[in-house]
Structure 1
């Protein structure tokens, strides 16, 4: 009986020690890899495969490394037993967004058809990929689009002014489409009225959801897609 109790206690202590050592390795890897590779390592976690560790790089990319951070593997990992794409599954988990958590009152809105299918877009008025995305969305029907104005001033210095003008327009949704599809500049606020777009709030929201560039798409299902996708891909995510 004493031997059994000792084995149980030893097992618990060994498990705790192992957990602590894994946590220390994860912290060390986060520091070492970020310094050596000059990238942002957001998360590190041990994997049950060959002593590998998974890293989230720059808020979006999944990469793998060894316990000493000597090598970095960027690519797709499959489970050979289930044939499941483990990298893709993990990316979906990390990039998933609870639709109900979106402050939709901080977005401009436009609808087509019955508007039954919903998506949100983080967009910069001077981003060429964002304009291309709007041309792809233009071919869709029965959709409501919530656009969070996310001008990146470091790339497009005049984008914050345009974003503010769109937000303050009499019909922001129409002003946005006119700008993005027709390059028609929105008028200044009528009568010089005080008006300010919630640009700081949206920027904080983008950081929260790890959206580091534009466009960034969020579908009602919770799926988040960074970057430009075409009309067919949008349709697939709206289903």
Structure 2
């Protein structure tokens, strides 16, 4: 009886292994078929069979597309559960967009501390971003928070110069607030002052930060665009809860 049970267990693992191998082979086949539909130079990162409707997820960077097992059709848009409203595509993109907060080069960011500073976020902002200036007003209403601001120069030719002038100021945070909140420009920086501008730009490109402001929370989730106070507080609390759960 014992030998029979052991034999069944071995057989079960063997069958599971065969199913996994067959699925992997199927995914490889779909990848090969679908690759020909994209222009040369476009790299497909992964092709994964999904648990819904026999679709295969095609991931290119943080972009998600779908196709069928014969790669005859390519679907764009979001997959939403009609029964409970779960947005599977958004959940997947959110997961792909996560970063390790502990690995952010915080020494390359401005650091603002209010109150006990226990709550922490990072934000990518461009000095020429109007929405960033509005969002800065929102940030200034919060208490007990630490905000790391990466000056991410993507909007205008002079964004880099403005960021350099602010970084090289005697009081960087004051210079940033003077510009973002009051429109008062920082004095011109000395030519020999070094800035993290290039490092921050490379970081943003690597993380696929395509707009400002973009907020990064301590659980690795992010929020592109300007948030109101209520939503920002909610996301900060959710990130803290996720950190405790993990």
TM interval, shorter chain, is: 0.7 to 0.9
- 1:48 pairs with one of 46, 51, 66: 51
- 1:236 pairs with one of 230, 234, 237: 234
Q: TM-score, normalised by structure 2?
A: 0.78
Distance 1:131 1:20 in 2: 51
- Which structure 2 residue ranges, 5 or more long, are not aligned? 1-7, 238-246
- 2:94 pairs with one of 92, 95, 103: 92
Distance 2:76 2:55 in 1: 10
Please state if 1:213 is matched with 2:215: no
Which residue in the other structure is 1:23 paired with?
A: 28
Q: 1:228 to 1:45 in 2, by over 3 A?
A: farther
Question: How many angstroms does 1:83 deviate by?
Answer: 6.1
- 1:149 pairs with one of 130, 151, 158: 151
Q: TM-score, normalised by structure 1?
A: 0.80
SS of alignment partner, residue 176 of structure 2 = helix
- Which structure 1 residue ranges, 5 or more long, are not aligned? none
Question: How many angstroms does 1:14 deviate by?
Answer: 6.4
Q: 1:16 to 1:135 in 2, by over 3 A?
A: same
Q: How does 1:63-212 map to 2 (within 5 A)?
A: 63-67=65-69, 68=71, 70-78=73-81, 80=83, 84-152=86-154, 155-189=155-189, 192=190, 194-212=192-210
Question: How many angstroms does 1:46 deviate by?
Answer: 2.3
Q: CA RMSD in A?
A: 3.1
Distance 2:111 2:13 in 1: 60
May I ask how many residue pairs the two structures share in their alignment?
A: 229
Q: 1:20 to 1:211 in 2, by over 3 A?
A: same
Question: How many angstroms does 1:204 deviate by?
Answer: 1.9
Question: How many angstroms does 1:186 deviate by?
Answer: 0.7
SS of alignment partner, residue 78 of structure 1 = coil
Distance 1:69 1:56 in 2: 17
Q: 1:202 to 1:8 in 2, by over 3 A?
A: closer
SS of alignment partner, residue 238 of structure 1 = helix
Q: 204-213 vs 225-234, which deviates more? A: 204-213
Q: 1:69 to 1:183 in 2, by over 3 A?
A: farther
Question: How many angstroms does 1:92 deviate by?
Answer: 2.8
